[in-house]
Structure 1
């Protein structure tokens, strides 16, 4: 259950709250954003009526009309009442362990519900606790639960402005506008092409294309293998375009069942199909005024291709089960790791749609074609992982760098990020060595020409470890070979031979290398 980009999620939530006055519709929109961004099966906002003091449901996601009526009739959700009374957040790592949820779990006849977590946080304004934001979460560990609780607490504070008395609205709205501008500036800075890690020539060409196309409204198709960072390129285009004031909405088409993709993109009317309990806006409506990023567009089923082509031609669509024609001003950016040309030849992808999408293609190179960027990316991911874990990273040893640069990286940047996260966990002292990297890196197929001759034998592993130890010890002794030899329990002659064998510049450590 990965939130993905919490900053972007909060920015989108803030924008939705600014669009309205805190009515039920806008609170429903807020829950829709949180639910989509955090994969929340169910969520609700409960508010205290200022006159009666009664707690009631103001907005919900994933609850049927009957469930809402039952909760409202009982004076709101019991968990929410406890949170409003105490003013403190409540977390349940597992619903099945709580007797409060036992009846609902039994009635649902779905064993997976018992493994979900639950979080309820107070909605607190200057006048006190005025409500609660509750949500069911997919099964997660304690660290993820804590991170999601923190994110929901932030969301609750942003929602609070909309339920304050009218006299406070002007001040709160101004505060929220300032927060919106701050988040927007931070996102624009984060996704500035200069801040995307990479100096290799293929990436410089990508940065150049981003700079050219950002200012236009052209449809962009981003090509590249899985894990190369296509979404990062799409976000860089959006946040450096005139549409940066609008939303950036991402849809992973491959992750959605084909029979739900049309509803997800175009929305649906109440009763359009079984389970359509209320009208729902699609991603095209949500992205109005901004950018819609469609990842894995090659997975579009034929029926959806027809509807998508119509939108690209006329910029209009209808919700599933509806007759109203809706116009949306949306910039389209697509991405795929599939060979669309072959799909067109085989009849699985419409040729006219292909040409509509392929207006401005950008190819993101695989990591093996930008190997000079690997040390930079590895250090970047290591520092980011250490920051999340509350630890520090001192450096990567030469042996680790050699191993990283010789591996073919079939999973590209995403695999490298995971590898560095593991290395940070494995390292006891903040120095990332070859042995801290995943076993897959240390047993790469010797027949692969991209491994640059590394055989992955025991002898090679011992050689890398020996070079690592000697280099690290020379660094610690500031290039004093005699002291390094004593630490490693070898003779000075043996140290000299190994320094020469591995071409280690021991003098560099005397010139101020950090011990």
Structure 2
């Protein structure tokens, strides 16, 4: 059986074949279904009713494992999944192609059916939906037939299953091609009447799916014990409607935690509106949060909806809430108590239904003692508190995060950076990370750009990590500094590659054992830590 076959059909030449049965499956049984499809398409032109019949017959008599009807939006030049079975909503949202892209794109581009005998052996198979990440159906075949009317491709019908008989596969290809031809007029009418609606619904579905994947707690990087406690708090509070206060140093990822809470909460279908209270001067923050009416002050040329109004039905995230003045704290307290507010210059109270999440790197309890933060507001905000640990307290999460950022920025910069060397890892682990995850991300992005051999070395890291004092910095490297760093790096790598065996490491470096010993002594390197490491990184 060929890997890929492109086929054209006369839709009237296959009825005779349906009288034969293969592997206990008789395609003659689907002839009444074809009659139903023809009846619905001529009587009501209801695409939803047709798809219900088609997907049912694909799942039951045809025993397909997955099935998709995809539509082609000529305006945006995209092909997307309109209806399917065997896919989750997230997988469905990812199934977007351009003409010529992947198997589906090639069917739309050529207007001809494509049959792939073994899906995972085909180079055109992109797995854009990520439904095959586990490679669980390596022997499955894939059928994709075009929906064509007046020589215009409107979309495709695609299906997947394991076949033991080539003849049964050919029968199903012809059957799906017949169904596609029968429903083409209805699909054409549907696209004409609903294309804008279809495009907007598909984009909305795709964005929501992407956001849920991005912000679910399991996708926050790190497995250290302190972060496990954070995950548990997110899990417990996400399903509730309580106000949440997130505490932590700058750069630890407070916004990411707030997003994870929102997208796993009862408000997930609503908007997620973010506002940084430190980003606006005191005289503008009220307008930012609560909005203003036209003409309420100089420059108010139009009515403006504030963040609270924009977040109605969803979640508002107020970052750096400790920076609010006492006057604005009083206004925030009123919203927390009553869930109502007025725009600046407005007279009509506006009621909102939303969840409030706040965050700060300040010590609010101490500010209450000092009189710079309202005590009543503090207790209103501190219903459920999550404290995010600084990176220096997260142990091996530093390495996990570093590897994650290496993968991301290598892809973004088109570089083949595969790993971080042992000396560089030691430097990352020994640094105190005052800027937390944000600083680590910037360090790795810079190192990826500097790397020249697919490995991030210690000398690719910034000067603040190169010095023996954690917080010390220098303006740059001298030639001697660079040579010393390279020599240290090469010795450490050779010892690691050879399990701490000095003689073999010396041979790899082209040195005598005595010469290597002298240089190890100069760099204060002992062979003992490398005895427990594996020969290969």
> What TM-score do you get using the length of structure 2 for normalisation?
0.58
Q: Name the CA shift for 1:219/1:506 in 2 (closer, same or farther; >3 Å).
A: closer
For the residues of structure 1 that align with 2:503 and 2:469, how far apart are their CA atoms?
39
CA contact (8 A) 1:378 1:416 kept: yes
Q: Name the CA shift for 1:447/1:441 in 2 (closer, same or farther; >3 Å).
A: closer
Cα shift at 1:192: 1.5
* CA deviations over 1:355-392 (Å, ceiling 9, x no partner): 10000000000111112211111111122121221212
Query: Of 338, 348, 369, which residue of structure 1 is paired with 2:393?
Result: 369
Cα shift at 1:175: 2.6
3-state SS in 2 of match to 1:292: strand
* CA deviations over 1:24-47 (Å, ceiling 9, x no partner): xxxxxxxxxxxxxxxxxxxxxxxx
Cα shift at 1:470: 2.7
For the residues of structure 1 that align with 2:471 and 2:413, how far apart are their CA atoms?
37
Cα shift at 1:176: 1.7
Match status 1:255 vs 2:276: no
Match of 1:212 in 2: 236
How many residue pairs were aligned? 338
For the residues of structure 2 that align with 1:476 and 1:202, how far apart are their CA atoms?
33
Cα shift at 1:461: 9.3
3-state SS in 2 of match to 1:408: coil
Match status 1:501 vs 2:527: yes
Q: Name the CA shift for 1:371/1:169 in 2 (closer, same or farther; >3 Å).
A: farther
3-state SS in 2 of match to 1:170: helix
Query: Of 201, 211, 215, which residue of structure 2 is paired with 1:177?
Result: 201
For the residues of structure 2 that align with 1:444 and 1:461, how far apart are their CA atoms?
15
For the residues of structure 1 that align with 2:383 and 2:204, how far apart are their CA atoms?
32
Match of 1:336 in 2: 360
Q: Name the CA shift for 1:500/1:282 in 2 (closer, same or farther; >3 Å).
A: closer
Match of 1:314 in 2: 338
Residues 99-178 of structure 1 aligned to structure 2 (within 5 Å): 168=192, 170-178=194-202
Match of 2:262 in 1: 238
* CA deviations over 1:417-475 (Å, ceiling 9, x no partner): 11111111111112101111111112263699xxxxxxxxx999988654521343467
CA contact (8 A) 2:502 2:527 kept: no
For the residues of structure 2 that align with 1:167 and 1:206, how far apart are their CA atoms?
47
Match of 1:383 in 2: 407
3-state SS in 2 of match to 1:190: helix
Match of 2:491 in 1: 470
For the residues of structure 2 that align with 1:351 and 1:459, how far apart are their CA atoms?
57
CA contact (8 A) 1:266 1:282 kept: yes
3-state SS in 2 of match to 1:503: helix
Query: Of 213, 217, 225, which residue of structure 1 is paired with 2:249?
Result: 225
Match of 1:488 in 2: 509
Match of 2:425 in 1: 401
Q: Name the CA shift for 1:507/1:424 in 2 (closer, same or farther; >3 Å).
A: closer
Moved more, 177-186 or 279-288: 177-186
Task: Name which one, 1 or 2, has greater alpha-carbon Rg.
Answer: 2
For the residues of structure 2 that align with 1:481 and 1:306, how far apart are their CA atoms?
69
Moved more, 483-492 or 189-198: 483-492
Match of 2:225 in 1: 201
Match of 1:138 in 2: none
CA contact (8 A) 1:383 1:392 kept: no
Q: Name the CA shift for 1:464/1:402 in 2 (closer, same or farther; >3 Å).
A: farther
For the residues of structure 1 that align with 2:193 and 2:462, how far apart are their CA atoms?
53
Structure 2: state its 5+ residue gaps.
Answer: 1-189, 473-478
Structure 1: state its 5+ residue gaps.
Answer: 1-165, 449-457
3-state SS in 1 of match to 2:302: coil
CA contact (8 A) 2:234 2:260 kept: yes
For the residues of structure 2 that align with 1:254 and 1:227, how far apart are their CA atoms?
15
CA contact (8 A) 2:292 2:345 kept: yes
Structure that is richer in helix per residue: 1
CA contact (8 A) 1:467 1:502 kept: no
For the residues of structure 1 that align with 2:280 and 2:413, how far apart are their CA atoms?
32
